[in-house]
Amino acid sequence: MRSRQHGLQRTLLGAAMLAIAGALAGSALASGSHGANQRAGQNQLIPLYDDANSVDWTEACSQANGSGGGSWIVANAAAEGGGPGSAAQPAWAGVIENCYRYGRASVVGYVWTDYGQASIASVESQVDAWNAYYPGEIAGIFFDGVSDDVPGTTTSNQGFYRTLASYVHSHEGNNDEVVFNFGQNPVSDWMLDGEDAENADIVVTFEGSYDTPGENPYTSWTQAAWELDYPANDFAALIHSAPDGPTAAQPLSACGSLAQQNIGYVYVGTSYEELPSYFSGLSTEARNNSC
């Protein structure tokens, strides 16, 4: 997928742009832990790559389910390649800061990792940039393009991504959230079974269309067996190209189905560039724990 520590305590969000969620609320943002496994409504991971559209951001931030662990919104500020860009942008500063007014969601910054082929220094520099451009506002990092191995090789990426997780968890001194987007089931639980500092907080195990042939349709996906050994709030799914319209049955069906597949955070929408027309209804269902 390309494309605040605020006041006394950072708001809990589950990170993320356009979505609704099948989620367990137990992701403690302030502490960076996912130990609480009680259910307090379903949470959301929302990839919102919309050029800082204030209408969309206000809707997402004010309506996302904030129960328990809360929700996450992923900011992607750069026009080309994704990430923080080369400088702070007033429009992005405005929507990110405004998001915390509602106490429902926290914002994480997008960084592309090229399946372990980017240099650690270049990735860490983007982490630094997010925090420098929007100080006190970025609650963690959404690492995109994550894979078990370097493509076309047998070189393991475990050390690469554990280094990045440790950097985010410790560098800013506030134990920020780390999201790894594999977009598919990882081969094992290596990103969750290490030391706390080097573990991911949320692992995206599915990204694709709802049911479009050739676009990794969700309707053909099942979770890996090992994922059932972990709480649902360790996992997220991002579904795009879903039907639009307030009465569309597929988004509601997908949300309920993901909740049964041990997925705690979910995006369901038409694209990442705008919120779907049914976002409000889906968020209501999430708050009622009946999505």
Residue 134 pLDDT more than 80?
yes
What local confidence, expressed as pLDDT, does residue 282 receive? Answer: 75
Coil, strand or helix at 239: strand
Coil, strand or helix at 240: strand
- What's the CA gap between 28 and 22, in Å, rounded? 17
Q: Contact, 172 vs 166, CB < 8 A?
A: no
Please work out, in degrees rounded to the nearest 5, the angle formed at the alpha carbon of residue 276 by the alpha carbons of 237 and 263: 15
CATH fold of the domain at 43-287: TIM Barrel (3.20.20)
Of 134, 106, 130, 142, the residue nearest 10 (C-alpha): 106
- What's the CA gap between 167 and 139, in Å, rounded? 13
What local confidence, expressed as pLDDT, does residue 249 receive? Answer: 66
The CB-based long-range contact list for 188-194 (8 Å cut-off, 24+ gap) reads 188/148, 188/226, 189/226, 189/227, 189/229, 189/230, 190/148, 190/158, 191/158, 191/161, 191/162, 191/165, 192/230, 192/234, 194/162
Residue bearing the bigger pLDDT, 23 or 210: 210
User: What percent helix, strand, coil does the chain show, rounded to 5?
Assistant: 30, 20, 50
What local confidence, expressed as pLDDT, does residue 246 receive? Answer: 61
What local confidence, expressed as pLDDT, does residue 16 receive? Answer: 32
Look up residue 38 and give its two tokens.
């009680």
> What are the residues facing 74 on neighbouring strands?
47, 108
Contacts of 118 (CB under 8 A, 6+ apart): 112
Report the sign of the C-alpha dihedral through residues 252, 255, 261, 262, in that order: negative
Q: Which of 33-37, 146-150, 171-175 has the lowest mean pLDDT?
A: 33-37
What local confidence, expressed as pLDDT, does residue 21 receive? Answer: 32
Farthest-apart Cα atoms in the chain, separation? 48
What local confidence, expressed as pLDDT, does residue 40 receive? Answer: 52
Q: How confident is the model at residue 3 (pLDDT cuts 50, 70, 90)?
A: very low
Q: How confident is the model at residue 10 (pLDDT cuts 50, 70, 90)?
A: very low
Look up residue 110 and give its two tokens.
């997008």
Residue 280 pLDDT more than 90?
no
Q: Contact, 230 vs 205, CB < 8 A?
A: no
What local confidence, expressed as pLDDT, does residue 8 receive? Answer: 28
Q: Which of 38-52, 81-95, 111-125, 245-259 has the lowest mean pLDDT?
A: 245-259
Look up residue 107 and give its two tokens.
């914002």
Find the helix or strand (DSSP H, E) in which 99 lies. Answer: helix 90-99
Q: Contact, 262 vs 222, CB < 8 A?
A: no
What local confidence, expressed as pLDDT, does residue 109 receive? Answer: 98
Look up residue 119 and give its two tokens.
């240099």
